[in-house]
Amino acid sequence: MRILTLYGLARRGAEAGIAVAVVLVLGVALGLAWPGSARGSEQGGGPALAALAEEGDGSAKEGENPPKEGDKPAKEGDKPAKEGDKPAKEGENPPKEGDKPPKQPGGEAEPPSDRTAGGGDNEKAVVRGDQAKYEAWRLPENFKNPDGSFNQEALINQQKRRCGFMSEKLAAPFKMTETPHYLVFSSADENFTKTFVKMSEALYTSLRHQFGIDAKDRVWDGKCGLMLFNTRVLFEDYARIFDEFGARGAGAYFAWEANSPKEPQLVHICIPLDDRDVRRLQELFAHEGTHAFFQLYRTSVLLPLWLHEGLAEYMTVVNDPSLAAEKQLWAKYIARDGMSIQPILERPAGMGFSWPAYNVSYTLVDFLVAAGKPKFKKFVDGLKAGKPQETALKEAYGWTLADLEQRWRVYVNEYLSKRH
């Protein structure tokens, strides 16, 4: 069985970004189209927020901004922002129902086609790529030790072979740099590569420190591959040829590789360096690197979508605190206007998110961490053990999801709105 999961953060027009999530399980692609739920409880007199949990383009066009603090709340009868609606300009009310959504920057990601890692009939259906392509991802014969544990050295040595395959298939020279937890494959110049080499281990250390994760706790098998491309063309070619993923609209993405849940769990991150803004690239790497880390931390059990994205956004702010204000704006409006966030909390893993839902997810993680890091780690560990999110939340914090929403609203309205 081949399982390949890709999470891509879309290219941003100005101040906002959306994610495209693609999950491939047994060759079935999910997440590019998902019927929105009109259901949702009302709380505090405000309308439900089902539309804000929908995938679509929530990014701002140049010159536009999300709602500012002090904007007038929506009048009674107004609807919350719909999937793909544009954020309001300063001084305007939030988007109303019926507004024409902007086109997604770069277009939708294409679903990856069916394939297997180690050969078989599915390879015959692949138009691009040949036997050599799959050898780079095939498990080595000695990937298991006699005691049944995974032979990490053999896995890493096999991963290192990918550098040569990438150079050959993409007709570009890639160089590999090894760190304690990453293999960096780069076609970029030496200085840019060194920057990412430093950032990779800094992020890993920060993740462990922020969430009290012991160095012995399992994350991924082998090492995390970090693929850096000096042009967008190379990035898109790699995504198409090796991951069979349409990355035209993606700013970056990570891919979780597995041949079965009982076999080694490997992961790689892909980032194009056509945008030479180091601050923006650091944000992209912090986001995707956090996804890769928590995807495989302890087990490969998927976290709830809001938590997965909230963690990724939280670490971008840890990396660059100046990003906090822009990542709170929509959450402040939603909390102030009494909209329910239950549709966001209930949205299945592997689906897309609107930009306002990202803001809500970031502030939820910010609140939960502020309420106690040991509790937060217990919550995540419970989820990774396969417990339902309400059970894990109750055991860690003593709250239901409804309690979480109520406390989150107080936190945003009475603390965040005064702090920023």
Residue 216: the pLDDT is 82
Residue 42 lies in a domain: no
293 and 383 inside one domain = no
Closest CA to 151 of 217, 218, 220, 221: 221
The reply to whether 28 and 177 lie within a common domain is yes
Question: In this predicted structure, what is the pLDDT of residue 135?
Answer: 74
Q: Length of the chain, please? A: 420
Residue type, 199: M
Please give the Cα distance from 195 to 343 (Å, whole number). 39
Q: CA triplet 364, 367, 373: central angle to 5 degrees?
A: 115
Range of the structural domain that residue 250 is part of:
3-32+112-301
β-strands 182-186, 28-30 pairing: unpaired
Residue 38 included in any domain? no
Residue 45 belongs to a domain: no
DSSP E strands: which ranges in 16-99? 19-25, 28-30
Q: Quote the number of domains for the chain.
A: 2
| pLDDT at residue 215, as a whole number | 85
Q: Does residue 201 fall inside a structural domain?
A: yes
**Are 236 and 283 in the same domain?**
yes
Does one domain contain both 344 and 363? yes
Claim to verify: residue 8 and residue 68 sit in the same structural domain: no
- The answer to the question of residue 37 being in a domain is no
* Same domain membership, residue 173 and residue 99: no
Within-domain flag for 78: yes
pLDDT at 217: 82
In terms of Cα–Cα distance, which of 108, 73, 70 is closest to 90?
70
Last residue of a domain, one of 247, 280, 301: 301
Which of 267, 301, 335 is the C-terminal boundary of a domain? 301
The answer to whether residues 351 and 55 touch, using CB atoms and an 8 Å cutoff, is yes
Buried b / exposed e over 75-90, threshold 16 CB at 10 Å, is: eeeebbbbbbbbbbee
129 and 83 housed in the same domain: no
Give the pLDDT score at 261: 73
Beta-bridge partners for 5? 23, 256
Assess contact for 21 and 31: CB atoms under 8 A. Answer: yes
Q: Helices then strands (H, E): number in the chain? A: 14, 8
**Domain's final residue, options 301, 329, 363:** 301
Contact 332, 341 (CB under 8 A): no
Predicted TM-score (pTM) of this structure: 0.72
Looking at the structure, do residues 244 and 259 belong to the same domain, yes or no?
yes
List the one residue out of 249, 245, 203, 244 whose CA is nearest residue 224.
Answer: 203
In 3D space, the residue among 15, 23, 3, 73 whose CA is nearest the CA of residue 358 turns out to be 15
* Residue in 248, 241, 266 with CA at minimum distance from that of residue 256: 266
Would you state the pLDDT for residue 41? Answer: 26
Domain of 219, CATH number, reads: 3.40.30.160
Please, what sign has the CA dihedral across residues 379, 383, 387, 391? Answer: positive
The answer as to whether 41 is a domain residue is no
SS3 208: helix
Neighbours of 306 (CB within 10 A): 25
Residue 179 lies inside a defined structural domain of this protein: yes
Residues of the chain predicted below pLDDT 70: 1-134, 259, 420
Separation between Cα atoms, residue 108 and residue 246, nearest integer Å: 8
Query: Which amino acid is located at 235 in the chain?
Result: F
Q: Are residues 240 and 96 in the same domain?
A: no
Residue 169 sits in the same domain as residue 142: yes
CB distance 238 to 229 below 8 Å: yes
Q: 170, 238 in Cβ contact below 8 A?
A: yes
Q: Taking Cα atoms as reference points, which of 223, 292, 350, 22 lies closest to residue 284?
A: 292
Instruction: Tell whether 73 and 13 lie within a shared domain.
Output: no
Phi/psi of residue 360, nearest 5 degrees: -60, -45
pLDDT at 276: 79
What does the pLDDT read at residue 271?
95
Parallel/antiparallel/unpaired status of strands 224-229 and 265-272: parallel
Judgement on whether residues 251 and 276 belong to the same structural domain of the protein = yes
d(CA 96, CA 419): 29
The alpha carbons of the chain give a radius of gyration, in whole angstroms, of: 21
> Is the separation of the CB atoms in 5 and 264 below 8 Å?
no
